[in-house]
Amino acid sequence: MTETPKDPEEILEGAPQHAGQQAPPRGAFGQPPYAGQAPYTGQQDEASEPAEQKDGKGNRAGLVITGFVLAGLLGGGVGAGVVGIYAANSNTGRPVTSPGAASVTVNDPRMATNVTAVASKVSPSVVTINVLGSQSSGTGSGVILSSDGYILTNTHVVTLDGSTGNPTVSVTTNDGKIYKAKVVGTDPVLDLAVIKLQNASGLTPVTFANSDKVNVGDQTIAIGAPLGLSGTVTNGIVSSLNRSISIASSAAPKQSSGGNGSSPFNFWNFDQNGSQRQAAKAAIALPVIQTDAAINPGNSGGPLLNGAGQVIGINVAIASAGSSSSSSGQSGSIGVGFAIPSNVAQRVANDIIKDGKATSGLLGATVTDSTSDSNATTVGALIKSVSSGGAAANAGLKAGDIVTNFNGKPITDSTDLTAQVRALAGGSKATLTYDRGGQTQQVDVTLGTLSTD
């Protein structure tokens, strides 16, 4: 069930609704082939609050390009040419582990590449996370933030995509040690979470890069546990920047209900009855870095690195193309993966460690894609209405304005605007460029704070 916001203006009309929908068939690794929905281009309320899940089911991280492979799904049963976005979690009925430590093997140092060097340097800072709920389990990845065991990962990893609020978490480090861990806090709005290892010391933290300095074409290296294969290294390039994706929220239920994990984004549990039904979920929008480095289920929460071994993003999802010729098969990485930018991830992680939670910005406007207006002359986010006393109203924005740029980031649709607003902390200042009656104008806005109560 989805909690209904008290204020009708707070409803996100563009959120995918799965209530009463039969769970799709499952593929070779148990991931249901999320498919059958066209990209959403309708009206969105940027000011909407993520709904709480009372019996959350499923797995997280996906573009509304139809599904989301939270770091990697295996999609099948969709129409030819349809793209799905899936979470990067490994879905098995039980945690998947690899024997022995997952250190990088270098047989001939003379022939080692830059990828070898980065993998050798950063692998000790990457962990495999096993999560157990009352009726499901899963495997994800994480990065070490501090020597005493703070770990950054995705919310959908620790909540089993919203099915549990009281998980049992264990973490395996690169040297083969296993630690018990507790959840410090989650941010379902940006799909990030922090956990803390018990009795840990002497760990090697990652180094973060400034994600605003990343270029298309830069080298990328991903390290994680795709399909439970700890210590896997893949590489590619940054294939696009200023991309935004829309996925279902993985907020934990207020009370752990031991959900069956039957969401289209599920990668955790493959042995459930395919006829089980899922609850509706609120949609969230994420700003992402796009890469062609192979990312698959289990990469969720792991690092996307640059050529210097610095984290530029936290892997969260991949796009997956399905085939109408298969009703159960699912495909893995097709070279379109997504990572939450390091600047966003660092801000959220620091806030969670300090306060147990993070805040997100609120514009206080209902928006939709400008392409929905036949009279529009530019792409952007079309403001349908503004909330009295909200950030947009206070800045002088009006219905009919088309936002085309936010803090230097191009805005092409409502998802772009929502993602950029949510990426900032509540109370942050931003500069918007908008079109009004064919005239380009600019305004400074002080954002409100999104309520997640």
- The catalytic residue positions are 156, 191, 300
Short-list 81, 67, 54, CA closest to 27: 67
Q: For residue 8, how many other CB atoms are within 10 A of its CB?
A: 8
H/E segment holding residue 142: strand 137-144
Number of residues assigned to the chain:
453
Burial (CB count within 10 angstroms: exposed 0-12, middle 13-18, buried 19+), residue 12: buried
Q: In angstroms, rounded to a whole number, what is the distance separating the alpha carbons of residues 261 and 159?
A: 10
Which burial class, exposed, middle or buried, applies to 452 when counting CB atoms under 10 A from its CB (0-12, 13-18, 19+)? middle
Q: Return the C-alpha torsion angle 153, 272, 18, 89, nearest 10.
A: 20
List all residues 6 or more positions away from 111 whose beta carbon is below 8 Å from its beta carbon: none
In terms of Cα–Cα distance, which of 321, 325, 349 is closest to 335?
321
H/E element holding 444?
A: strand 439-446
